[in-house]
Amino acid sequence: MLAKEKPSKALRWLGKQLFNRENPAAFFDPLLESLNPMWVRGYTPARVEQVLEETADTKTFILKPTQRWSGFEAGQHVNICTEIDGRRHTRPFSLSSSPVLWQEQGVITLTIKRLPGGLVTNWLHDRLKVGAVLGMSDAFGDFLIPEPAAPVLFIAGGSGITPILSQLETMATQDYRAPITLLYFVRTHDDVIAGSQLKALAARYPALTLNIVATHEGAGPRYLSDEDLATVPGLKARKAFLCGPRGLMELAEHLLRGRGIQQSDIHCTFFAAPSAGLSDQAVGGQVQFTESSLEVGSQGDANLLEIAEAAGLSPRYGCRMGICHQCSCRKTSGTVINRLTGQPSGPGEEMVQLCISIPQGPVSIEA
User: Which member of 82, 137, 326, 338 binds ligand FES (CB under 6 A)?
Assistant: 326
- Under a CB-based contact definition with an 8 Å cutoff, are residues 95 and 109 in contact? yes
Work out whether 319 is an interface residue with ligand FES (CB under 6 A).
yes
Selected from 355, 363, 365, 367, the binder of ligand FES by CB under 6 A is 355
Query: Residue 78 or 324: which CB sits closer to ligand FES?
Result: 324
The binder of ligand FES chosen from 165, 324, 352, 358 (CB under 6 A): 324
Residue selected from 318, 334, 335, 339 as contacting ligand FES according to rule CB under 6 A? 318
First to last CA, the chain: 55
Q: Is the peptide bond preceding residue 92 cis, with omega within 30 degrees of 0?
A: no
Stretch that binds ligand FES, among 46-54, 264-272, 275-283, 324-332 (CB under 6 A): 324-332
Taking the complex as a whole, how short is the minimal distance between the CB of residue 319 and ligand FES, in angstroms? 4
Please identify, among the stretches 33-41, 177-185, 243-251, 322-330, the one whose residues bind ligand FES according to the rule CB under 6 A.
322-330
Cα–Cα distance between 313 and 318 in angstroms, integer?
A: 15
Q: Which stretch binds ligand FES (CB under 6 A): 218-226, 276-284, 294-302, 323-331?
A: 323-331
Query: Applying CB under 6 A, does 327 fall inside the site for ligand FES?
Result: yes
Distance CA 57, CA 12 (A): 55
Kindly write down the DSSP assignment for every residue of 298-325, as one continuous string: EETT--HHHHHHHTT-----SSSSSSS-
CA-CA-CA-CA dihedral for 335, 341, 342, 346, to nearest 10: -20
The distance of Cα 55 from the centroid of its chain, to the nearest Å, equals 22
* Helices and strands counted in the chain (H then E): 9, 16
Nearer to ligand FES, 135 or 179 (CB): 135
Contact pattern for ligand FES over residues 288 through 317, marking x by CB under 6 A: -----------------------------x
CA–CA separation, 222 and 215 (whole Å): 5
Residues that bind ligand FES (CB under 6 A): 317-320, 322-327, 353, 355
